[in-house]
Amino acid sequence: MNQKDQTANVSVLIPTKNEEKQLARCLDNVKGWAKEIVVVDSGSTDNTLAIAEQYGATVLNFDYRGGWPKKRNWALKTHSWKADWILLLDADEILTEAVKSEIKQVIESGKHDGYWINFEIVFLGRQLRHGDTSLRKLSLFRAGKGMYERRLENQDQSMLDMEVHEHVVVDGSVGRLSSSIRHENIQSLSHYIQKHDAYSNWEAHTWVFGDEGSLTPRLFGNQAERRRWLRKSLMNMPGFPVIVFVYTYFLRLGILDGKPGFFYALFRMVQFFHIKAKIYELSIQPVDSQ
């Protein structure tokens, strides 16, 4: 099989900032398979850019000063894409051979304009198989057919410069892949905690000042709609973070994932404590300071 036969008609978009520990591992699995690799970077001070260039990636420099768009939507709107399809990846996500083969098949079939993809979560060196850790994102779509929803206009640098829990909205029909991408963060827990602190800033501001975006919260909708419905319906419940821990660790059997399962459930509980506390903080601040 020649190189052309192996290449998929896909442009891979990867957001980065100081990802030298993870980026090469991610790029190893897309170089030679993707028609184009685009890295959109936010002022990395480590070897991230050198690694991207070593793999032949196109580097876009993004200078975030608050507001909208954020990193990935900016790249989707401004870059001239070489492929007909776009695959969104993070630096800690790894394409398996199975998912690469399936992606190539579905884009050649032309049946849908976008696809939900499942993600296997590896946390503290162990793949989590329990605890409601299944994750699904709409990460593959035709170029020009997908954009991130906007849920919060007045964003600042404390909330990260990339989309957090905004979702891609596709203009057209959407399917779902059966294969999974491997999500395996090998950064330190300190980095994990700092990043999720910024996530909780965004969540709290979205709760107080934002809107529902383009997805309608629905209990019996897709995974994104269902999770948004649950947060909207249950966030104000007393003890909600503790309920999240009990649900994750006991009811959904996170306990079977050993110590990583325990720490994952604990961090998830703490994340909701942070969100609730920050929502309260915003609610008692004077209007002109918000």
User: What are the pLDDT digits (tens) for 61-87?
Assistant: 999 989 899 999 999 999 999 999 999
Q: In the predicted model, what is the mean pLDDT of residues 176-191?
A: 95
Residues 148 and 217 occupy one common structural domain: no
Domain limit, last residue, from 135, 160, 187: 187
Residues 170 and 211 occupy one common structural domain: no
Q: In the predicted model, what is the mean pLDDT of residues 90-95?
A: 97
Residues 277 and 140 occupy one common structural domain: no
Domain residues for 114?
3-187
Sort 199 into a burial class: Cβ within 10 Å, 0-12 / 13-18 / 19+: middle
Domain limit, last residue, from 144, 165, 187: 187
Residues 32 and 172 occupy one common structural domain: yes
**285: pLDDT confidence band, cut at 50, 70 and 90?**
confident
pLDDT at 1 over 50: no
Residues 120 and 205 occupy one common structural domain: no
DSSP-assigned states of every residue in 218-281: -TTS-HHHHHHHHHHHHTTSTTHHHHHHHIIIIIT-GGGGHHHHHHHHHHHHHHHHHHHHHHHH
Number of independent structural domains in the chain: 2
Residues 24 and 167 occupy one common structural domain: yes
Residues 213 and 91 occupy one common structural domain: no
Residues 134 and 274 occupy one common structural domain: no
Residues 153 and 208 occupy one common structural domain: no
Note the pLDDT tens digit of each residue in 113-156: 999 999 999 999 999 999 999 899 999 999 999 999 999 988 88
Q: Tell me what pLDDT residue 288 has.
A: 60
